[in-house]
Amino acid sequence: MVLSVEDLTLEFEGLRALSNVSFAVPDGALTALVGPNGAGKTSLLNCMGGFYTPTRGRVTFGGAALSGLPPHRVAAAGVARIFQFVELFRHMTVLDNILLGRHRHMRAGVLAGSLFWGVSRREETRERRRAEEVIEFLELERYRKEPISALPFGIQKLVGVGRALAMEPRLLLLDEPSTGMNREEKENLARFLLRIKHELRTTMLWIEHDMELVGDLAETIVVLDFGQKIAEGPPQTVLRDPRVAEAYLGRARNAEKGARS
């Protein structure tokens, strides 16, 4: 298993967001992390990405500990993250935003970079070529020189995927990438997730609320509720689990009752 979460617990001043969560993700697998709002899914990704330090337990990736490392060290270990909301530089072009993902691979110093000569010039050429390969992979050629602010929302989300892929990650953390997309945009995203899995063989942990997408794409589903793991397994098993149905439908019924009262 390339990614391992062991007895992970996260507390904030007595509030427990995660409680003894354990699971593992095989190399090259697409694993979905699902659960109702407030279940602790994003908190778990924040522990993996270096934004939170778990109270107990640990996260390991490729045998090395991730938990407790700052975000830049996590990125250097080969972990990239796609956030729920578009976190792009809106005044910059698609190409320039994706180039930012190449930053961790650049080695030229400040002086060489300012002169744009020798090593710096060769490095810039190489990294632009790699960014163009990502643009081609995601079929974004027609948008490459467009500013982010001029693009449809679904294309902006794909650019976010592209910036993460430009890092050449071994592990990709996706926090609800389909949020705000229409059905056509979601189907397009699904197509690229499958390409990332089969062609790039990148391991992915994917938070998603669209259970139709999850059932179609994920090999394994891990379900959280109130910070605890309540189910884990293949989609055909997990999606029929009564505990999973209760976690989703029970919350929906309670919300409906609250709205009526």
Q: How far apart, in Å, are the Cα atoms of 139 and each of 42, 146, 162?
A: 29, 14, 10
Please say if the pLDDT value at position 86 is more than 80.
Answer: no
Distance separating alpha carbons of residues 51 and 257, to the nearest angstrom:
36
| More confident call, 255 vs 145 | 145
Q: Which of the listed residues 115, 149, 168 is the one where a domain comes to its end? A: 168
87-125: per-residue pLDDT in tens? 799 999 999 999 988 876 665 543 344 445 455 667 778
42 to each of 36, 123, 220, 236, how far by Cα in Å? 11, 35, 18, 24
Task: Report the pLDDT value the prediction gives residue 105, as an integer from 0 to 100.
Answer: 62
Show Cβ contacts of residue 253 under 8 Å, excluding neighbours closer than 6 positions. Answer: none
Please state the rounded mean pLDDT for residues 50-67.
Answer: 93
The residue whose two tokens read 């967001």 is 17
Residue 222 has pLDDT above 90, yes or no: yes
pTM (2 d.p.): 0.86
pLDDT of residue 17: 96
- Which of 168, 188, 222 marks a domain boundary? 168
Among 140, 168, 196, which residue terminates a domain?
168
Q: Strand order in 30-34's β-sheet? A: 79-82, 171-175, 203-207, 30-34, 220-225, 228-233
Read off the pLDDT of residues 154-196 as tens digits, 9 standing for 90 and up: 999 999 999 999 999 999 999 999 988 999 999 999 999 999 9
What mean pLDDT is reported for the chain? 88
Determine, yes or no, domain membership for 46. Answer: yes
Residue 127 sits in the same domain as residue 241: no
Taking residues 133-153, what's their average pLDDT? 95
At 75-85, the pLDDT tens digits run: 999 999 998 77
Per-residue pLDDT tens over the stretch 4-44: 999 999 999 889 999 999 999 999 999 999 999 889 999 99
Tell me, yes or no, whether 158 and 191 share the same domain.
no
Q: Is residue 95 part of a domain?
A: yes
Confidence category of residue 249, pLDDT binned at 50, 70, 90: low
Q: In this structure, is the dihedral angle defined by the CA atoms of residues 115, 118, 120 and 126, taken in order, positive or negative?
A: positive
DSSP 15-56: EEEEEEEEEEE-TT-EEEEE-STTSSHHHHHHHHHTSS--SE
Q: At what angle do helices 153-166 and 119-137 cross, to 10 degrees?
A: 130
Q: What's the rounded Cα separation, in Å, for the pair 235 and 56?
A: 29
Cα 197 off chain centre by: 13
The residue type found at 1 is: M
- For residue 33, count CB atoms less than 10 angstroms from its CB and return exposed for 0-12, middle for 13-18, buried for 19 or more: buried
pLDDT given for residue 87 in this prediction: 79
Report the C-alpha gap between 102 and 120 in whole angstroms.
Answer: 14
Domain of residue 118, residue span: 88-168
Q: What is the DSSP string of 190-258?
A: HHHHHHIIIII--EEEEE-S-HHHHHHH-SEEEEEETTEEEEEE-HHHHTT-HHHHHHHHHHHHHHHHH
- The verdict on 221 and 245 lying in the same domain is yes
For the chain, what is the domain count? 2
Per-residue confidence (pLDDT) for residue 84, from 0 to 100 = 79
Q: What is the pLDDT of residue 120?
A: 66
- Residues 150 and 175 placed together within one structural domain of the fold: no
For residues 206-228, give the mean pLDDT: 94
Kind plus residue range of the DSSP H or E element containing 97: helix 94-100
Which residue type is seen at 67?
S
**135's tokens:** 């643009």
Cα 12 to Cα 55, 99, 207, distances in angstroms: 9, 36, 22
- For residue 257, pLDDT beyond 90: no
205 with 195, same domain? Answer: yes
